[in-house]
Structure 1
């Protein structure tokens, strides 16, 4: 039952209890007279939060876009179960990434990685509607953006989800929620591929695959840091790089182009590095990564240091990216925005591989 205590001014005296309620009796009457507007609105929100609309998959048959279904009565995540550093958000905008369909389409292993049924999506911008008592950074009513950090059973293609303080930052004034939602996985990956001890004013960076979500962020971030940036949107780029000579301090490979790293000494300076993000979702792709990481030069390995980048959820990184957005130094390149009812079409577009920048989904009103 929903129990709220009002103080003499008619306001709720214990806001935390509101979001710990899980069970609502069907015959409970919400007072509409002799109560403050705040009380009536909060009661309405609490009832709405018992269930939510969400896109779910229970199994994959013919691809995620053909298996995902809109469930209008999905149980909402209860605030009573929030751990330290977690909070409940009402999603405004979600952005989707290849990992959102690649993990579910692994088939049986996905049951162990995520669990079924599950809601895809990691990246978001939304309003905090419930927070753990120990959270002193984010409060109810704050608008935040960030990423869940990994696929979960309650992803961001839903009205509500649970986010963490480490994977979130406050939305800066003047930044549109759509722009902020597009940061998440791609923005953090691009940011963390450009370490400041390597990327300094005047250094030269080559970004392979500059038209995708991570690539469009990476080009902008590298320029902000003062680098000279060269990029290619073609997978047939080995000859292009070789023709430029060993001029680059850093190569960021968003595609996982075959043979590019192996020829790295022909276009990367001595002491330069090669960072790879993208790789085909296959056994062959995994084998290639292992070879590049561990195969010595005399057995056919590369001559330049190799790293495979997997992003980490970092609050401070999101804050810095948000600052660049608010200052107009960077902006999200959004290929297309889909409404919530068109999520399958959004995944169809993403899987073509021809999106320029990010694909976002409007979940709620801004």
Structure 2
């Protein structure tokens, strides 16, 4: 990672940001001074206090699967000064003239593009007031990850009280929220994780925990009403063996090569779905302010508590991205701007 001059002498209309100009490894990242964004009429400008990393950041950095390159603005290389990051917590610095529900100085969190920077602009419709009970670092973990867990279980899985729900990938960024949200929905929750994370997954609300290094849940004989697969390490046939006859399988991941990535596996589920009683439902989360408001309430009531694996200052973003790419992160990785302001 190349680091340009990031002294305190930067002009007032500039900011520090983590950018990349080629697809590849974290070594392609560069901390650079770029233009400070200006909010449009329906946007707010957020002074970033913390930004959480998500799987999408690793995909965008690598440019794989190739389908994600449209989000970075170029097939051969990202657009100039493409900034990574999609989840943020911070303070409103300015508001567009059509913004009515948010004010300068308000503490907020949001899902928007380009959050690994000192400032980011975000549409008002995707910005919500930060949970008062959480720090900025904790709050930044909720957009994207907790939203995905909520939508996957409540909307696609249609989880009801008393159902048996299995979370495959229970110790990850989405998984740690999914365990807690499934419990909040009234389910009996089974989490699948590695040996070192068994106690963690149990501590956040799982009724049962399966250590995948010693047991394969698809061959154990237990059947579940809903399976949320966040890993993609089992075939559809294997997952269906662990699913109740009229159960629901929610899929959000899987291999598929450099071109299509998880899309190929998700498409396979759509092909099979009409011919089986079980419900096979591919899933991709969407931005939703109402969900951020609900998650704020859940955080303030104690129903969900973010799990943070590690925090990094902005200047160590390359280390954070390397760790994200290695996998096996327990909870979330968070970038703080303490060294940038």
TM above 0.5, one fold? yes
1:321 to 287, 292, 295: 295
Q: How many residues align?
A: 304
Q: Identify the residue that residue 90 of structure 1 maps to in structure 2.
A: 47
Q: Identify the residue that residue 180 of structure 1 maps to in structure 2.
A: 139
Deviation at 1:205, TM superposition (A): 0.4
2:85 to 97, 121, 124: 121
Q: How does 1:344-359 map onto structure 2 within 5 Å?
A: 344-359=318-333
CA distance in 1, matches of 2:274, 2:214: 22
Q: What SS class does the counterpart of residue 241 from structure 1 fall into?
A: coil
Deviation at 1:199, TM superposition (A): 1.7
Q: Identify the residue that residue 249 of structure 1 maps to in structure 2.
A: 225
2:181 to 212, 221, 225: 221
**Contact 1:159–1:364 at 8 Å: present in 2 too?**
no
Note the residue ranges of structure 1 that are not aligned, 5 or more in a row.
1-46
Q: How does 1:171-320 map onto structure 2 within 5 Å?
A: 171-195=130-154, 198-233=158-193, 239-246=216-223, 248-259=224-235, 261-280=236-255, 282=257, 283=260, 285-295=262-272, 304-320=278-294
RMSD of equivalent CA atoms:
2.4
CA distance in 2, matches of 1:166, 1:225: 26
CA distance in 2, matches of 1:316, 1:294: 32
CA distance in 1, matches of 2:12, 2:143: 25
CA distance in 1, matches of 2:159, 2:277: 20
**Contact 2:57–2:85 at 8 Å: present in 1 too?**
yes
Q: Which has the larger radius of gyration?
A: 1
**Change over 3 Å in CA distance of 1:240–1:295 after alignment to 2:** closer
Q: What SS class does the counterpart of residue 146 from structure 1 fall into?
A: strand
Q: Identify the residue that residue 29 of structure 2 maps to in structure 1.
A: 68
Q: Tell me the TM-score normalised to structure 1 length.
A: 0.77
**Contact 1:104–1:110 at 8 Å: present in 2 too?**
no
Note the residue ranges of structure 2 that are not aligned, 5 or more in a row.
1-9, 74-78, 195-211
Deviation at 1:245, TM superposition (A): 3.1
**Change over 3 Å in CA distance of 1:357–1:281 after alignment to 2:** farther
Deviation at 1:327, TM superposition (A): 1.7
2:62 to 105, 111, 116: 105
Q: Tell me the TM-score normalised to structure 2 length.
A: 0.82
